[in-house]
Amino acid sequence: MNLSALVEPDRVHKTVYTDPQIFDREMERIWERTWVYCGHESQVPKPGDYYAVTIGRQPMIMIRQGPGSESGSVNVLYNRCPHRGVQLVGNLKGNTGSAFVCSYHAWSFHLDGSVRAIPLAKGYEGTRMTKDNPDCGMKRAARVDSYRGFVFASLVDEGPSLPEFLGEAKIAFDDMCDRSPVGEVEVVPICHRVMQHSNWKFFMENQLDALHPSVTHQSTGISAGRVEKRLKAETGAAPLYYHYLSTFASSFEQWDAVQTINFPHGHGILKAYMGLRPRDPDTLEYEALLTKAYGEAKTEAYLSRSIHHVLVYPYLSVQSPLQQLRCLRPVGPDRTMSEIWHFRLKGAPEAIYRRSLWYYNLVNSPATMINADDLENWSKGQWGLQSNGGDWVSFHRWFGDDREENGVTYSNHGTSEAVMRNQFKAWSQYMQEAI
Amino acid sequence: MSAVDDAPGRTPGRSQAGPDPLGGSVAAHGGRGASIPSAGPDFAHLLAQDVVIEQNEEQARTGAQRVEPDHSPRGATQFAHAVPRPGLVVATAAGPDVQREVEQFLYAQAELLDGKHWQAWIDLFADGGVYWMPVMPEQTEWEGSPSIFAEDKLMMEIRKGRVSHPNAWSQAPMWETNHLVGQVALESVTDTEVRVRSRFQMMELRRDAVRHFGGSYRHTLVRDGSGALKIRLQRVDLFNGQAPFDYVLQIWV
């Protein structure tokens, strides 16, 4: 398969969204090599706490270590017994105690994956499967690292380190954590999972696509704007969460005035700021806490960052100012699971948590008034691309108008399709070159 | 060969000057000027430039509304059927049968949803009434909880306005629901308030696919001035609320 013929600087061939062989290659060359987000350390606070997570096509376990050489750290293991291959945990999450025990023949393993006991071990004497053989332990992810509490794993030894992979996109986690007076977040222990009937690329492109909101989401934006306006007229103010929704119906010009910054590895930022700093007592109390912790200059720098979304390509969309994160787990060329998480700013007032919770409930919950229309677009997009009605997907908007410096592409227009062009640049490198 | 023949010749840094083909003016954002911040390598500096987006009241038309002529032939959905009324409850010598009155109320609630009578459904709620679908059964407070739905009457009005808008794209595909309500058990009854739990099953058709939801309702009902029941709280616990959602829920369950 000649992949280089499928991606041109200004357009891509439809098969990159639809072809099962290309999907398999994406799993092999991208997901099962690069750093993939597993979860947040606070999902597994106690020794033995685990969370099952899929990396590419691989069933993995994120597990908090007990006492020992790796005391308290978080490890990532393959969810597979080395004896006959049975998965060692059968639930999405839980606590496995001090050991994994296989439900088939009772092989057991320490929390670091090394074998603890094999029943009737005598039966293995003289074979190659004795306890001192590392193959008798659970296989570990080649590399595990974390950044500000967010855990990533890579299934190969070679390639960039996690900081190198994240590059400037690490701002996603800095921006989220810096908004806490103690510099940390903890997970809200609920994960919404929504299956989209479309290729994962639709989601990643959509997140920084500033032209679509006022088209796709106008029904909600207009409806919310109407009620917001009435409330303001009647009572002088409307809660901030009406604004979350009405913003989606901002004009083309407003969205075009936003900028995208597009990094190596396909990462990117959609700037713009939804006005999260009203002068109400809760916000003032919160800002006073930050000022006490960081001083005025840093607090101002943290709170005035202009970030709407940060993308960690090819699977993560982080809305750091509102502490939300969506992670993609592709299932097939036309099936993508998204996992939706919310985080709490440690040390921040309850009111600040509740304020961003509204965004989680209204925009990111399974009863979303926003993503319902995105998902509809992506399904129809997938069906359209499966047709013979055309071969190419166009990314020509403002082609040639972006400014590139040191591998970073700055759009001169919010609606520039620089976002997609940059993502496919990274995609081509992943798919064709050694990493 | 290229479908777009002007693309290769375009020079980087093409001027942004010239009349805006859509005719609108760029509003000032966050007190700053209208121009795009000049791109540069100073990443931290760039992020500090505040661009606030918000719906502009002077410029009510947005997105596809800007495209002329009217691209969307659809209007708000018209309903052929009259709003169903709750079934009759026959009074006995001992007075009104609250069990049957409440059953008929719950059936009517479900019928209004299945019939897409959104306003009549919202009108079932008392002032200050809340529709809440928590994520987990152990949640107790509708505010401050991660929820699937957490809506007061104003938010219901937004949702109703959204699904009724001609450009609610996800409403274009045919869809229907069918509720079945049962196991209606009164938990407490006073002159002013009734607490009742029940179970429901709901099937939903969307395009060619059927989804199945089930769970329990817990209603706190109050009586208005005329003695009619109104919903103070409708709590909906989906038994499959933490299972993956194949697509999302667009309307109340």
B80-131 pLDDT, tens digit per residue, is 567 888 788 877 777 779 999 999 999 999 999 999 999 999 999 999 999 9
- For residues A41 and A175, membership in a common domain is answered with no
Tell me the pTM: 0.89
The domains of chain B are located at 121-238
Which residues of chain A are within 8 Å of residue B3 when distances are taken between CB atoms?
11, 392, 394
B56 touches chain A (CB under 8 A): yes
- For residues A340 and A383, membership in a common domain is answered with yes
Using the 3D structure, point to which of A126, A154, A182 is the last residue of a domain: A154
Residue A255 tokens read as: 């969205």
Which residues of chain A are within 8 Å of residue B119 when distances are taken between CB atoms?
none
Residue B30, Cβ density class (10 Å: 0-12 exposed, 13-18 middle, ≥19 buried): middle
Please confirm whether the linkage preceding B137 is cis (ω < 30° from 0).
no
Q: Per residue in B108-131, is it b (16+ CB within 10 Å) or e — as a string?
A: bbbbbbebbbbebbbebbbeebbb
What is the C-alpha to C-alpha distance for residues A288 and A17, in angstroms, rounded to an integer? Answer: 48
DSSP H helices in A273-331:
281-294, 296-303
pLDDT tens for the 253 residues of chain B, in order:
333 333 333 333 343 433 332 233 333 333 333 444 444 445 566 566 556 666 665 555 666 666 554 444 444 455 556 788 878 887 777 777 999 999 999 999 999 999 999 999 999 999 999 999 999 999 999 999 899 999 999 999 999 999 999 889 999 998 999 999 999 999 999 999 999 999 999 999 999 999 999 999 999 999 999 999 999 999 999 999 999 999 999 999 9
Q: Enter the CATH code of domain B121-238.
A: 3.10.450.50
- For residues A228 and A361, membership in a common domain is answered with yes
Beta pairing, strands A192-196 & B245-246 = parallel
Q: Is residue A19 part of a domain?
A: no
- For residues A302 and A387, membership in a common domain is answered with yes
Q: What is the pLDDT of residue A314?
A: 97
Q: What is the pLDDT of residue B86?
A: 79
Residue B34 C-alpha, separation from nearest chain A C-alpha, in angstroms: 8
Nearest to A41 by CA among A186, A211, A222, A191: A186
Strands (E), A99-191: 100-101, 108-109, 115-117, 143-147, 150-154, 185-187
Residue A400, Cβ density class (10 Å: 0-12 exposed, 13-18 middle, ≥19 buried): middle
For residue A269, what are the CA distances in angstroms to A161, B43, B103, B205, B208?
21, 11, 53, 38, 37
Domain count, chain A: 2
Residue whose pair of structure tokens reads 């099952």 in the numeric block? A52
Using the 3D structure, point to which of A88, A121, A154 is the last residue of a domain: A154
- In chain B, the residue whose alpha carbon lies closest to the alpha carbon of A304 is B48
Q: Is residue A18 part of a domain?
A: no
| Regions of chain A with pLDDT less than 70 | 274, 433-435
- For residues A203 and A137, membership in a common domain is answered with no
- For residues A181 and A66, membership in a common domain is answered with no
- For residues A254 and A378, membership in a common domain is answered with yes
- For residues A146 and A178, membership in a common domain is answered with no
What is the C-alpha to C-alpha distance for residues A228 and B154, in angstroms, rounded to an integer? Answer: 9
Question: Which of A226, A258, A365 shows the shortest C-beta gap to B51?
Answer: A258
Q: How much of chain B is helix, strand and coil, in % rounded to 5? A: 20, 30, 50
Identify the domain containing residue A50 by its residue range.
36-154
Beta pairing, strands A335-345 & A185-187 = antiparallel
- For residues A112 and A178, membership in a common domain is answered with no
CATH number at residue A241: 3.90.380.10
- For residues A397 and A301, membership in a common domain is answered with yes
- For residues A142 and A216, membership in a common domain is answered with no
Q: What is the pLDDT of residue B56?
A: 62
B141 touches chain A (CB under 8 A): no
CATH number at residue A59: 2.102.10.10
Q: What is the pLDDT of residue A205?
A: 98
Which residues touch A146 (CB under 8 Å, ≥6 apart)? A41, A74, A152, A162
Using the 3D structure, point to which of A96, A126, A154 is the last residue of a domain: A154
Question: Which of A258, A342, A371 shows the shortest C-beta gap to B53?
Answer: A258
Q: What is the pLDDT of residue B64?
A: 63
- For residues A256 and A350, membership in a common domain is answered with yes
Residue A20, Cβ density class (10 Å: 0-12 exposed, 13-18 middle, ≥19 buried): exposed
Q: Is residue A263 part of a domain?
A: yes
Cβ neighbours around B147 below 10 Å, total = 25
ipTM of the complex: 0.94
Q: Is residue A291 part of a domain?
A: yes
Please confirm whether the linkage preceding B69 is cis (ω < 30° from 0).
yes
